[in-house]
C-alpha cells in the first residue's frame, strides 16, 4: 500500500482516535457535527482523534458508535476477538427460507396463482398478525415464502393490463412486508434487493398507495445507511410526496395516511441532520394529515394515525438530542393508543433514549423492560436499545449494572 493511500479503519495497527477520524470522514461528517451529537466540544473530539486524550470509557465509545452508525464495536476498538454488533440484530432462523424465496427466479408458469383478491386477504391477515404478535418476525418468517412465490406467480399469469397492475400492487406490498422482516438482520444486500423490487413493482402498479409505501420504506433504508445517504432518503421521500400531492384532495384514508407517514419521515431525516426547525415543520405537516383521519383510523403498514403523532414527537426530540424535550413529549404521548405491539415497543425504546439523554438511566432501563414485554423481538433487533443496555452494564451503580445485565440476558445480547 502506498504511503498516501487512505488508511483502513479495520487495520489492527490503528489507534482508537485514528479510527474515529477515518470513520467520521468516510461518513461525510464534520468534527463540530459529531462533537455536537456527542454533547462534547470540537476541541475535545480533536484531542481524541489526535491521541492527546486516551480512549474514553465504554459509555462514550457506545455514543460515538451510535453517532457514526458503527455496526460493530471492533470497528472502533480494533479488538476483533469479541465483536459486538450494535445496529444489526441476530439472524432469524427463518431468514434463509425468506431469502431463498426472494432470490428464486422461477420461469415455469404451469402452476395457477391464487386470485389477487385472495392474496390481498392473506396480506391483510399477515399485517394484522405482525401487529399483534410479540415475536412478529417469527410470524412473518413463516408466512413470507409462500406469499412471495404466489405474488410473483400472480404477476406472471396476469393476462390484461389492469390485472397485471393489480398483481404488481400486491407484489409490492409483499416486498414491503418482507422488508419489515429483513430489516436489522445480517444481510444488507437482501434488504436492498427487497426494497428495490418493491419500488419497481409499485411503479408498475401505478397505484398511489403502493408507490407511497415503497418510497416510505426505501427512504428509511437510505437513512439508516448513515449520514452520507440522507440526501438519497430525502430524494425518494420528497419525490413520492410530489407524486401523491395531486391525489390527496379526493384520496381515501390510506393514501392520506401514507402521505402523512412520508411527511414525518422527512422530519425524521431532518432531525438526524440536527435541523431542528425543518424537523418540527415536517412533524406539523404530518400532524395536520393525521387530523384529517378518523380518530380510530390506524394505517396497517406504517402505523400512521392521530395516536402515533405523540410517539413521532418523541422520536424527533430524541434525534435532536434534546433530552428534556424528549421526556416532555414522552409524558404527553398516549402509548395506550398504539395497538401494534412492535410499534409500541419501538416507542418505548425511543422513550428510553429520551430518559437516558435526560440523565435518568434508571427510568430508561424500566422503559426498556416495558419494551421487552410488548415485543421481545423488537428490542432484540434494535441497535439503540442494545447500546443503552451495554452502556448501563458499565454503570457505577451496582444495582443498575445488575438490572442491565438481567435485561441483556433476556434480550440475548450477551449470547455467544
pLDDT in tens, 243-256: 999 999 889 999 99
Grid cell locating 173: 406490498
Q: What is the pLDDT of residue 118?
A: 93
Q: What is the pLDDT of residue 6?
A: 42
* Residue stretches of the chain with pLDDT short of 50: 1-12, 82, 415-416
Q: Cα–chain-centroid distance for residue 316?
A: 14
Whether the CB-CB separation of 339 and 303 falls below 8 Å is answered with no
Whether the CB-CB separation of 89 and 380 falls below 8 Å is answered with yes
Q: What is the pLDDT of residue 178?
A: 96
Q: What is the pLDDT of residue 71?
A: 65
Beta bridge partners of residue 72, listed in sequence order: 85
Grid cell locating 90: 441476530
- Angle between helix 308-319 and helix 341-357 axes, rounded to 10 deg: 40
Q: What is the pLDDT of residue 414?
A: 60
Mean pLDDT estimate for the chain? 87
C-alpha to C-alpha distances, 249 to 259, 307, 344, nearest whole angstrom? 12, 23, 31
Return the closest-CA partner of residue 241 out of 270, 263, 268. 263
Q: For residue 85, which phi and psi values (nearest 5 degrees)?
A: -75, 135
Question: Which tens digits make up the pLDDT trace of 280-296?
Answer: 999 999 999 999 999 99
Q: What is the pLDDT of residue 111?
A: 77
| % the chain with pLDDT above 90 | 57
Whether the CB-CB separation of 302 and 277 falls below 8 Å is answered with no
Q: What is the pLDDT of residue 11?
A: 41
Report DSSP letters for 56-117, one per residue: PPHHHHHHHHHHTT-SBTHHHH--TTS--BSSS-PPPTTHHHHHHHHH-------SPPPPHH
C-alpha to C-alpha distances, 41 to 31, 34, 63, 65, 166, nearest whole angstrom? 9, 9, 14, 17, 55
Question: Which tens digits make up the pLDDT trace of 156-185?
Answer: 888 899 999 999 999 999 999 999 999 888
Q: For residue 72, which phi and psi values (nearest 5 degrees)?
A: -135, 130
pTM (predicted TM-score): 0.80
Which domains are assigned to the chain? 16-77 (1.10.260.40)
Amino acid at each position: 500500500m502506498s504511503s498516501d493511500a487512505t488508511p483502513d479503519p479495520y487495520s489492527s495497527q490503528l489507534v482508537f482516535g485514528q479510527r474515529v477520524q477515518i470513520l467520521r470522514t468516510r461518513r461525510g461528517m464534520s468534527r463540530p457535527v459529531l462533537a455536537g451529537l456527542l454533547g462534547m466540544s470540537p476541541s475535545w473530539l480533536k484531542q481524541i482523534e489526535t491521541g492527546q486524550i486516551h480512549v474514553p470509557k465504554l459509555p462514550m465509545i457506545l455514543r460515538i458508535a451510535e453517532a457514526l452508525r458503527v455496526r460493530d464495536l471492533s470497528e472502533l476498538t480494533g479488538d476483533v476477538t469479541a465483536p459486538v454488533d450494535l445496529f444489526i440484530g441476530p439472524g432469524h432462523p427463518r431468514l434463509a427460507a425468506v431469502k431463498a424465496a426472494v432470490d428464486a427466479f422461477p420461469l415455469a408458469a404451469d402452476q395457477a396463482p391464487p386470485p389477487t383478491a385472495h392474496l390481498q386477504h392473506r396480506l391483510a391477515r399477515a399485517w394484522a398478525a405482525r401487529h399483534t404478535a410479540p415475536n412478529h418476525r417469527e410470524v412473518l418468517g413463516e408466512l413470507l415464502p409462500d406469499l412471495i412465490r404466489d405474488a410473483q406467480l400472480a404477476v406472471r399469469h396476469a393476462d390484461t393490463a389492469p390485472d397485471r397492475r393489480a398483481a404488481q400492487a400486491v407484489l409490492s406490498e409483499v416486498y414491503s412486508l418482507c422488508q419489515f422482516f429483513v430489516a436489522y438482520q445480517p444481510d444488507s444486500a437482501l434488504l436492498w434487493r427487497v426494497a428495490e423490487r418493491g419500488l419497481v413493482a409499485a411503479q408498475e402498479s401505478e397505484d398511489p398507495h403502493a408507490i407511497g409505501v415503497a418510497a416510505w420504506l426505501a427512504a428509511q433504508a437510505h437513512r439508516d445507511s448513515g449520514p452520507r445517504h440522507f440526501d438519497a432518503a430525502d430524494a425518494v421521500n420528497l419525490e413520492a410526496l410530489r407524486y401523491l400531492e395531486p391525489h390527496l384532495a379526493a384520496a381515501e384514508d390510506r393514501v392520506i395516511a401514507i402521505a402523512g407517514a412520508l411527511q414525518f419521515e422527512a422530519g425524521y431525516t431532518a432531525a438526524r441532520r440536527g435541523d431542528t426547525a425543518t424537523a418540527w415543520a415536517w412533524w406539523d405537516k404530518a400532524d395536520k394529515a393525521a387530523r384529517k383521519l378518523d380518530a380510530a383510523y390506524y394505517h396497517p403498514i406504517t402505523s400512521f394515525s392521530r395516536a402515533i403523532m405523540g410517539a413521532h414527537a418523541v422520536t424527533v426530540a430524541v434525534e435532536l438530542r434534546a433530552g428534556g424535550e424528549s421526556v416532555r413529549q414522552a409524558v404527553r404521548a398516549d402509548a395506550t393508543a398504539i395497538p401494534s405491539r412492535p410499534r409500541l415497543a419501538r416507542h418505548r425504546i425511543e422513550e428510553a433514549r429520551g430518559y437516558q439523554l435526560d440523565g435518568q438511566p434508571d427510568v430508561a432501563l424500566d422503559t426498556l423492560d416495558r419494551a421487552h414485554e410488548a415485543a421481545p423481538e423488537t428490542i432484540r433487533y434494535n441497535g439503540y436499545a442494545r447500546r443503552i443496555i451495554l452502556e448501563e452494564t458499565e454503570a457505577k451503580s451496582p444495582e443498575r449494572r445488575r438490572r442491565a445485565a438481567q435485561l441483556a440476558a433476556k434480550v440475548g445480547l450477551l449470547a455467544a
